[in-house]
A and B are shown apart, each in its own frame.
Chain A
């Protein structure tokens, strides 16, 4: 079995199993932890509305809070969009999904996706540099933060290399493609154990703060 065959076959299957089981385990395990009953009289009780509102409004904070974090905010949005656009709208990726899902969808021209991916990579590198030099980021960063950003960068880099058919130090195209797929698998395997889980936790967490502040009569 070549590296590419492994990556496309058992590698992907195992990665998906670990991803799905791990994500379910962590979500269920967290949501099963009991919540405290609050006996104080709430000021507001429109909980669902407040929770839904926070799920949306957290993306657009008031100016006086936003003004110091514009860079992080914009780069954050930009690279997430760039990453998912590259993953889902790149011509060569869609047949891959099709083989699992049985259906495909329209894609963007390759050159557009390549530009998007290039920007995404540039932003991620800028954010890594920021994590190294900014006093707050230095203070709060953990190993998980470094591994996560590394695992997001690597698929982009290997993707460029395999698309361009650039053999690095005599490594063949098939091997590069195999590495590209393996890098995605590494991301999937690491996902449930890491901060990447915020993909699933963000909205429940936003909902919670909306509800908890609604009790206090504050739109959060």
Chain B
């Protein structure tokens, strides 16, 4: 087993064991249902109402969801994953709800048990289903509401509870905190790579990812090299916490909001005009789209993902790279949260083009890309092992069909999923990080 794959397996086990030790008081069933409904009532808005009014039950969304495709089981139909939300809407909020109440049963505690598994183990919030629905229904944000409701009822997987508790109480993730970031910086400094930590003021603030600190310090080194080469006034803020905003994936809104507030406060404190999120899809989507809403005001800085930033700098001619030897072909895996969630498709491809590699696109790429199967926390969820492997198989098939020499991606989460998935399936394709590929070939 590769060292990283072993580490990922160890992380999964550690997380499972930690989950087993979180003490939570189980809420009475009626209270759980009440809390779920309270979240539904708070989150449902006019857009979701229109979507929930429109569904035809045509089943087409199932045909593009990797979990249904991999299993053939109807319960993995995307819109079915939000059935309790639909039920609540139809009975309690929709026009004619009073009429429906006569014939439609209420949400039961047993429903919550069932949907807890569907939304946490069988959805990566990849949003591929959003791209097909003939009615234009956007399902993935509703799945996020489902997760939040289940978390509010105290029913999210124990692993997620453990992580949310840690973020709220200690501000660390998987035990990784400011000291570890300082240690990584010191290690890199010993290799001659300058990593400016905690500068009081800087034009650019870069976030650290706990996963990178644990598994891919090479990505942190690569980022530092690029920032230094550009001669930017930049810094890592160790108190900003983990870039992944892991609770975005766990559905724990309080923990997510706490993490985002910290990131925003640190960036504002540094007086930065740009915040760059490392190779982490969740972190980018969380800060980019939820940051302002959590703090209740527009952000006074720009939020970019590192692949977006690097691509732009290369396009603008500020960052120069040397072409790789001819004959290297790659396929680019668009991380869902960076691609379909955030519209970053061109910039990473520009970087690859500048490197002179041949990009062989998968049949489903850019906005129709298949998720790797590990998004929204699934990569660390042991319960989802089988489903994840099925989804990964689809990804593997598409990547193989390109005949490309390697898979390049721009998200540590995807990278972990690929490495662990390849190990499990005995797949030999090398997995590369975009930022590392660029940093290794600076002109």
Interface residues of A (CB under 8 A from B): 25-26, 28-36, 38-41, 43-44, 54-55, 58-59, 61-62, 64-65, 68-69, 72-73, 76, 134-143, 145, 192-193, 195, 197-198, 201-202, 204-210, 212-213, 216-220
Contacts and interface: CB of A to CB of B under 8 A. Distances in A.
Complex A-B, nearest 10 residue pairs according to Cβ-Cβ distance, in ascending order: A217-B343, A29-B95, A139-B74, A206-B136, A68-B63, A39-B292, A135-B74, A136-B59, A201-B54, A35-B46
Given A142-B57, A193-B96, A218-B367, A40 B291 contact: yes
Given A58-B135, A72-B59, 13 more contacts: A26-B53, A32-B46, A41-B298, A58-B133, A58-B136, A61-B131, A61-B134, A64-B364, A76-B134, A137-B59, A140-B59, A202-B54, A208-B51
A140 B73 CA distance: 11
A209 B137 contact: yes
A136 B50 contact: no
Nearest to A43: B343
B268 interface: no
Nearest to A204: B50
B77 A136 contact: yes
Chain A at the B interface: SS class: helix
A57 to B, nearest CB: 10
B136 A26 contact: no
B131 A205 contact: no
B136 A210 contact: yes
Nearest to B294: A39
A206 B343 contact: no
B58 interface: yes
Interface in B323-378: 339-344, 363-364, 367-368
A26 B99 CA distance: 12
A25 B95 contact: yes
B93 interface: yes
B289 A145 contact: no
A220 B135 CA distance: 12
Given A40-B290, A136-B59, A136-B62, A61 B46 contact: no
Contact of A195 (B55, B128, B297, B341): B55
Contacts of A32: 46
Given A33-B46, A197-B53, A216-B342, A205 B136 contact: yes
Given A31-B46, A69-B132, A64 B56 contact: no
Contacts of B132: 61, 65, 69
A137 B57 CA distance: 7
Given A41-B292, A140-B80, A220-B130, A135 B72 contact: yes
A211 to B, nearest CB: 9
Contacts of A135: 72-74
Given A39-B293, A202-B136, A209-B138, A30 B94 contact: yes
Residue of B49, B54, B132, B364 most packed against chain A (CB within 10 A): B54
B79 A140 contact: yes
B123 to A, nearest CB: 15
